[in-house]
Structure 1
Amino acid sequence: AGGISRTGDVMREFSAVYEQQYAVALFNSVRYEIEGGGGTQPQLLHRKDPLAGRTIFSGNLFQYLEENRKWRNRFVNVPNSYAIHLYETRTAHERGLHPKVTINCAGYKALTSLDEYMELINNSLPGIKAKVGSNPFIKCATPFPLILWHPYARHHYFCVMTEKEQKKWHAVLQDCVRHSNNAGLPENNTVQTPAFTDAVRLYRQAKGHYGTWDMMCGEPPQILANLVMESLHPQVRNVIGPRLKGKLQQRQRHWMLISDAVYRQVASQTAGQYGALVQACESRKAPLDARLRTDMDQVVTSKEHVSNKIRALVMPKAEQLLRTSVQPYISSILEALMEPTSRGFSEVREVFFRELVEISKNSANEGDKEKLGDNLERLSMLAFHPVKMQSCYEKVEELNLEGLQQRFEVSGTSVFISRAQILMREQMDNAVYTFEQLLHQSLENQGEEDMVKTIQRCQDRVLKKFDYDSSTVRKKFFREALLQIIIPYMLQQLSPSCSAELPHFKELIFEDFSRFLLVDNMFEEVVLQSVTKDIMMAVKEAAVQRRHNLYRDSIILTNSDPNLHLLEDSPSVDWATKFGGEDANGSAVDGVDGVEGKAAGRKRKQVVSMIQLDGVPLPYESCMEVPGVELIPEEDGEAAESRKEEDEEEEDDDEEEDGAEPPPEDPKSPDSVNEIRGLINPVLEMTVPLKEEGQGEGEGEGPDGAEPTTITAEDGVQEEVTLRTSSNTDNPCRATHTSSPRHRLFLYSHYVRCKCCDFNLYLKA
């Protein structure tokens, strides 16, 4: 009830701010459309839908199920939406069944360490601290965990078998988080996106929160849910935290469940109310747009008149603040931003260059056109390959504002790191797409006689264009980052002395224009203009330093390559078809997935390759086949002790046996081939004594060590079978079986398997 009430209060206040900012954003959009905007033209081409017909990754990993505290194998599919879909088996995915779990990664953090995770957990409940060396409430099944942590929502626990798998999955999960965080507010929506971002910023500023916000991520309803939880979460924690009973791990688990329940309830409320808010604003857009286009000159004149009055009040105070508290630190902030960002973009260039060199080498040595098509198909998805791009992303993650972060009250660097990484991915894809179009154009005009030289010429042209575009993109990023750091600080310092005077300026605005001209927005624009000159000068001076590989915008003229931009809307080249190859069966992308795209005669291709592990029994096709406690321990701690006897008897049975006996259900059809096999050939657990080594055939034994045995099934029916031990003396576990008195065996339809080492005892009915 408290969550619903708080959500309603926040949404009412936010809606009022949003409606105001919607009209302002519409005014700015129409004015820009009428007056036009300048800016340099990018040299590289931009691909509109690079991931059409692709998936990012799929594979098997182990998931921790909190309902029964068990680890189970799951098939994971990451489509081009970057949502994570979990299925019981790959077959379930291929049959088009709904996933068991779908994870939207916005707001999450991908972790690979239980220690780092427990540190975050211990900080979630103030006053409840774990003792040094205490066991976490979850014991990872392998030494290679993967955890998705969220400050409010449910956490997700996975693990894999090798370090190589862990690194690849971690890169994929980070890419899912990165994309989900930035995909909810499209830049091409010039009204709704600025209206929403400005409304969130102004709402938080009214509550005393200035500067960047780490939870400004995901779709607008998710961001609004985070906005509600920013104030609601501490209150719920303070009320419920002291009332939680039980041991430390139990209290932590219960608090996470409560937090997730509250967050889901809040998110459901914000989604409905935000949808209604946008619909109401959009319904009033047409008459507002018509009025703006009719009275644009008068609105602009009125705005300039009021802005000059506000500037006269604010500028003396702003200039004093700039001289004493801002200007001395601009160069330091810029340097802290430039070093890791420039290294990241240089790594993007290097990775792109290495891929092209490798393609040229393969083309010269092998001369196989089909192989060349496969290599070019791989290149086309380079920007979206999380593992290959990881070295680029890691360079930017070194960004550290040190003491500047405290001086300007910046909440963290994650906002800037994420933005730089998104720009790096865009520049990589632009470079790849431009290279593809140039190469395709050259092959059409000149043929395929000297492929290596053709690739080299296209490569050199693209690298020059990349150098220019990366310079332009980085300078824009530096300017925006400096504004994000400095403007909130200046607003926080100037607001106390200016806020009392600002309402008087409303009297200077005509009532007909009052929806489009807000005093608070004009005040912020004046503050922004006061510092823009210093920021532009600092970035311009940095461009002169060669070590940053920045160029003056005037060096390369716009429209310097008009013929290239005629290819802007050309579709991506299908290299496999062009060079006479088939679909390559995923060789171009190291795997295929799904059944989409069959109408085009090609399977949906996967960006990141599957992992083939030597000596590891993967992939499993059923959660029943996950290794038992010898390979994957189920759980440790007090909860495991209370369940020890039950787990020893039932640890490899169906999931229904993990807790209390469920109520009877109506019969259902089996969902997988393995379930059908289980109905036809039920698996029984039995213990069979083995004879000591060297003991010959005894009474009643058949040839080859076979002996008759009577087995009683669960329904009381007795069946007589003959056990015959295998004579494979090379089996390294043979000594174990002959020396150990008893072994746990599993009766299948045609053989008995020992659980600890897969030593088979074949049946002869």
Structure 2
Amino acid sequence: LNPHSKFISSDQKREITLESDVMKEFSDVYEQQYAVALFNSVRFEIEGGGGTQSQLLHRKDPLEGRSIFSGSLFQYLEENRKWRSRFVSVPNSYAIRLYESKTAHERGLHPKVTINCTGYKALTSMEEYMELINASLPGVKAKVGSNPFIKCATQYPLILWHPYARHHYFCVTTEKEQKKWHAVLQDCVRHSNNGLSEDQPVQTPAFTDAVRLYRQAKGNYGTWEMMCGQPPQILANLVMETLHPELRDAISPRLKGKMQQRQRNWMLISDAVYRQVLCQTTDQYNALVEACEVQRVPLDARLRTDMDQIITSKEHVSGKIRALVLPKAEKLLQTSVQPYISSILEALMEPTSRGFSEVRDVFFRELVEINKNLLNGVGKEKLGDNLDRLSMLAFHPVKMQSCYEMVEQLNLEGLQQRFDVSSPSVFLSRAQILMREQMDNAVYTFEQLLNQSLGPQGQDDMCKAIQRCQDRVLKKYDYDSSTVRKKFFREALLQIIIPYMLQKLSASCSPELPRFKELIFEDFSRFLLVENLFEEVVLQSVSKDIMMAVKEAAVQRRHNLYRDSIVLTNSDPNLHMLGETPHVDWATKFGGDELEGAVNADSFEGGRSGIGRRQVVSMILPDEVPLPYESVLEVPGVELIPEEDAEMFESQEEDQGDDEEDLSPPEDPKSPDSVTEIRGLINPVVEMVVPVSEKNQSDMTESTEPESTIVPNMVEDGVEEDVTHVTTMVETVPRKSLKHRPSPETILHALVGNEKQEVDNGHQEEAVIKNANKEVVREDAGKRMTEISAAESDFESSQMPPQSPTNERLDDGEPQPITKSLNKEDTIINPANMEVVLV
């Protein structure tokens, strides 16, 4: 970034001033919201309450001792503008780690690059990427069809795009690999964006409310796409939301060079600024949280002492604010909100319900496959591997991709502009996270029930046990998915409608709010803020309509939504007692002592450096595919890289060294070891078979000197080379009578008989290989027989074209008559009139 340091230094003062102003204002709002969130948390703890109880069990740490996947692809290096092969490893933190090679990863070396996918988008086309790039700099527009500043070596790119941070470019060699890698990258982005922890009942609501109120004070209502990741990352996005346009307007006119170079320079500058802002927001947020936590103990003591008085004061002030706001809110509801609630709900329900239904189907299909394998007589070790892979089904990005794609069909077009919804991506990401959680809950519940019902039964009893547990879990999943979806619909409707109503009502209600502060006692002023009370009144005014709309859909059983009263709480206490049991290690349970030792070794290695952990997804590229290329420009064609088998990709751990293919390049030519070999390289000898007549043959045999001529020969580079000293050699082949020559049927039966004999002699492996290449051998035999028949002068007068005895029904053991197919005739030829010579 040295060439652009002058741009950053000239605006560094403005950057520091703006960032300090943003963080100061946010800190004041956060301290106020922290006290309010603490009050709500303590009140909930005292009064109790809660929603419906989940029927499925919940696993605390499903990815313990696991890694997501590893594989190899090609990365574009901006330093030297070249492509390099990289080994990729993704641990359970979903951070992408790029290594120089697989050996460097196994040795525990530090990765070349570590990518935190928060806020990124995974793209699969350069056209989509260039649209985002062209919109980043105003006044710098690319012409239609212009080349981007980066040239992808293959037609299957993978790009991680971020509005502020550095972009990352990858590519693969097949479309199948691209789809798999895209699913993995999307899963990394999805997991990283879901950064706010729900286990912190005070810090998380205080932070989210502070960000929302800060943006509303700046006039930004509605959903925000960059509300993703950890709090320091969200704060960095909050600073860049204001700083980025100002910095772009100041620097863009001063960028020099071609359009592609200016775009590239601007990206580097933006990344440098974003990293600096992120570093400062991290330190400032940690200091802010620490200062608030210091005051938590005295605030908590005051709340528990004066809780009744605080609640009474809040109800009194809320009643005054309700009298002011409610008439205006009801009028706005009737004219601008209620007519659209059903449309918004339907747009949310259909794709979301299809996604949850696909989760159920994927879970069901996996259990059906396990039962099929049991009926086919698989061993206990294989059963352990299948159950072990099932336990990680929710975190398999490729298997879950079909579920995620259902939700991606969510379309709020027409409603986004009315209700200021910038993008449905916020709702998509939340729905997909809930789908993954429900899948893992279903799998974990099935594991606990199956483990409880296991005994010394045989395979038949095992299949019945799996079937019983499957039916029981699916019923519980239907209830839980209905409950989760209804909660998701209510929250989504509130996220869409409440900002719209606040924006419409703030102009008339905000000037009246300061006078309500006089009604709050000074001792309670930290826990009761008129801004929060105003929002609660607006929320209560629209909550009734939203609840009724969702309840009506549940009563009508639309999209398999059920009423909460159908299943009673605590209906299965024995099941919830199983939630305290540890995770079932199926590979160890069915694998024996040797496998158990391997698992322990993996756990030790995983705790030390993450190497050797069990992978949720096996390697994207198998080990036998070599990647010796320093540059992707030297990557072989797609046909030289075998596609990964579906079974291999779905398996968690496969021994990839058993059936390893030799895909190494051919050996280089060796140096000549003798004078004769050197002469052979200088004057190559070419043997040519030239058909001659008997007259010419007798003339040639009577001559004493070989005939010397010049024959043009084309070498590999296309240059003609003169080859001299062509010696004609005549070989006499004794002829046999027709009766001594075998018929075509005899030849074919002999070929098939040899294959059967090999199988009978115990060479099954060679027989399988030869059977796979049977068609090629038969075609070569047919061509060889055709050439010999054409060379026979006795049959030139018959003008009968040679016909390969190979036919389509050869595998059925039914020889077919030979016809004059080349002459477009169907006349059947008598084999007695045809002569075949074998060499």
TM norm structure 1: 0.81
Q: Which residue of 2 aligns with 1:760?
A: none
CA contact (8 A) 1:701 1:707 kept: no
Residue 477 in 1 paired to residue 478 in 2? no
SS in 1 for 2:580: coil
Distance 1:351 1:705, change over 3 A: farther
The one-letter amino acid paired with 1:465 is: K
Residue 203 in 1 paired to residue 176 in 2? no
The counterpart of 2:140, out of the listed 128, 145, 158, is 128
Q: Which residue of 2 aligns with 1:285?
A: 296
Cα distance between partner residues in 2 of 1:387 and 1:491: 41
CA deviation after TM superposition for structure 1 residue 610, in Å? 1.5
Q: Which residue of 1 aligns with 2:177?
A: 165
CA deviation after TM superposition for structure 1 residue 579, in Å? 1.1
Please give the residue correspondences for 1:103-122 in structure 2 after superposition, counting only pairs within 5 Å.
103-122=115-134
Unaligned stretches of 5+ residues in structure 2: 1-11, 638-667, 687-712, 722-839
Please give the residue correspondences for 1:160-239 in structure 2 after superposition, counting only pairs within 5 Å.
160-182=172-194, 184-239=195-250
Q: Which residue of 2 aligns with 1:596?
A: 606
Distance 1:235 1:99, change over 3 A: same
SS in 2 for 1:333: helix
Cα distance between partner residues in 1 of 2:70 and 2:677: 46
Number of residue-to-residue matches in the alignment: 650
Cα distance between partner residues in 2 of 1:493 and 1:361: 60
The counterpart of 1:568, out of the listed 560, 570, 579, is 579
Distance 1:735 1:162, change over 3 A: farther
Map Cα deviations across residues 573-626 of structure 1 (whole Å, 9 max, x no partner): 0101111346769999xxx999315899x9410011213469x95334xxx644
Q: Which residue of 1 aligns with 2:510?
A: 499
The one-letter amino acid paired with 2:606 is: E
The one-letter amino acid paired with 1:94 is: E
Residue 419 in 1 paired to residue 430 in 2? yes
Map Cα deviations across residues 154-196 of structure 1 (whole Å, 9 max, x no partner): 00000111111111111010000000000x2101100000000
SS in 1 for 2:526: coil
CA deviation after TM superposition for structure 1 residue 629, in Å? 4.8
The counterpart of 2:408, out of the listed 397, 408, 419, is 397
Residue 702 in 1 paired to residue 702 in 2? no
Residue 618 in 1 paired to residue 591 in 2? no
Please give the residue correspondences for 1:495-574 in structure 2 after superposition, counting only pairs within 5 Å.
495-574=506-585
Q: Which residue of 2 aligns with 1:716?
A: none
Distance 1:51 1:311, change over 3 A: same
SS in 1 for 2:564: coil
The one-letter amino acid paired with 1:357 is: V
Q: Which residue of 2 aligns with 1:388?
A: 399
| Bigger CA radius of gyration | 2
Q: Which residue of 2 aligns with 1:98?
A: 110
CA deviation after TM superposition for structure 1 residue 546, in Å? 3.0
The one-letter amino acid paired with 1:453 is: K
SS in 1 for 2:420: coil
CA deviation after TM superposition for structure 1 residue 427, in Å? 0.1
CA deviation after TM superposition for structure 1 residue 702, in Å? 3.3
CA contact (8 A) 1:373 1:581 kept: no
Q: Which residue of 2 aligns with 1:680?
A: none
SS in 2 for 1:213: coil
Q: Which residue of 1 aligns with 2:747?
A: none
Distance 1:544 1:423, change over 3 A: same
The counterpart of 2:470, out of the listed 441, 455, 459, is 459
Q: Which residue of 2 aligns with 1:660?
A: none
Cα distance between partner residues in 2 of 1:706 and 1:20: 93
CA deviation after TM superposition for structure 1 residue 380, in Å? 0.3
CA deviation after TM superposition for structure 1 residue 127, in Å? 1.3
SS in 2 for 1:158: strand
Q: Which residue of 1 aligns with 2:28?
A: 16
Cα distance between partner residues in 1 of 2:357 and 2:533: 39
Distance 1:77 1:586, change over 3 A: farther
CA contact (8 A) 1:93 1:594 kept: no
Q: Which residue of 1 aligns with 2:806?
A: none
CA contact (8 A) 2:70 2:620 kept: no
Residue 43 in 1 paired to residue 55 in 2? yes
The one-letter amino acid paired with 2:617 is: V
Q: Which residue of 1 aligns with 2:497?
A: 486
The one-letter amino acid paired with 2:270 is: S
CA contact (8 A) 1:374 1:587 kept: no
Distance 1:303 1:446, change over 3 A: farther
576-585 or 421-430, which moves further after superposition? 576-585
SS in 2 for 1:58: strand
Distance 1:61 1:220, change over 3 A: same
SS in 1 for 2:591: coil
SS in 1 for 2:25: helix
Cα distance between partner residues in 1 of 2:680 and 2:43: 92
Cα distance between partner residues in 2 of 1:255 and 1:586: 53
SS in 1 for 2:86: strand
Cα distance between partner residues in 2 of 1:400 and 1:88: 42
Residue 347 in 1 paired to residue 355 in 2? no
Q: Which residue of 2 aligns with 1:608?
A: 617
CA contact (8 A) 2:714 2:720 kept: no
Cα distance between partner residues in 2 of 1:38 and 1:16: 31
CA deviation after TM superposition for structure 1 residue 705, in Å? 4.7
The one-letter amino acid paired with 2:509 is: C
CA contact (8 A) 2:588 2:595 kept: no
Q: Which residue of 2 aligns with 1:643?
A: none
Map Cα deviations across residues 686-720 of structure 1 (whole Å, 9 max, x no partner): x9999xxxxxx9xx953545999xxxxxxxxxxxx
CA contact (8 A) 1:593 1:606 kept: no
Distance 1:252 1:70, change over 3 A: same
Distance 1:243 1:397, change over 3 A: same
CA deviation after TM superposition for structure 1 residue 316, in Å? 0.5
Distance 1:736 1:467, change over 3 A: farther
Cα distance between partner residues in 2 of 1:593 and 1:138: 42
Cα distance between partner residues in 1 of 2:109 and 2:568: 54
Distance 1:93 1:569, change over 3 A: same
CA contact (8 A) 1:105 1:177 kept: yes
SS in 2 for 1:386: coil
Cα distance between partner residues in 2 of 1:706 and 1:225: 74
Cα distance between partner residues in 2 of 1:529 and 1:464: 34
Unaligned stretches of 5+ residues in structure 1: 633-686, 691-696, 709-722, 728-733, 743-765
Map Cα deviations across residues 296-353 of structure 1 (whole Å, 9 max, x no partner): 1111111111111111111000000000000000000000000000000000000000
Cα distance between partner residues in 1 of 2:125 and 2:352: 26
Cα distance between partner residues in 1 of 2:89 and 2:591: 30
Distance 1:516 1:322, change over 3 A: same
Cα distance between partner residues in 2 of 1:702 and 1:738: 26
Residue 269 in 1 paired to residue 283 in 2? no
Cα distance between partner residues in 2 of 1:454 and 1:630: 50
Q: Which residue of 2 aligns with 1:310?
A: 321
Q: Which residue of 1 aligns with 2:15?
A: 3
CA contact (8 A) 1:111 1:147 kept: yes
Cα distance between partner residues in 1 of 2:594 and 2:19: 51
SS in 1 for 2:504: helix
Cα distance between partner residues in 1 of 2:40 and 2:455: 45
Map Cα deviations across residues 646-686 of structure 1 (whole Å, 9 max, x no partner): xxxxxxxxxxxxxxxxxxxxxxxxxxxxxxxxxxxxxxxxx
The one-letter amino acid paired with 2:123 is: L
Cα distance between partner residues in 1 of 2:251 and 2:594: 57
Residue 434 in 1 paired to residue 442 in 2? no
Cα distance between partner residues in 1 of 2:203 and 2:41: 10
CA contact (8 A) 2:74 2:632 kept: no
Equivalent pairs: percent with the same residue? 77
Q: For the aligned residues, what is the CA RMSD?
A: 2.9
The one-letter amino acid paired with 2:137 is: L
Cα distance between partner residues in 2 of 1:593 and 1:253: 43
Map Cα deviations across residues 263-286 of structure 1 (whole Å, 9 max, x no partner): 111111111111110110011111
CA deviation after TM superposition for structure 1 residue 232, in Å? 0.7
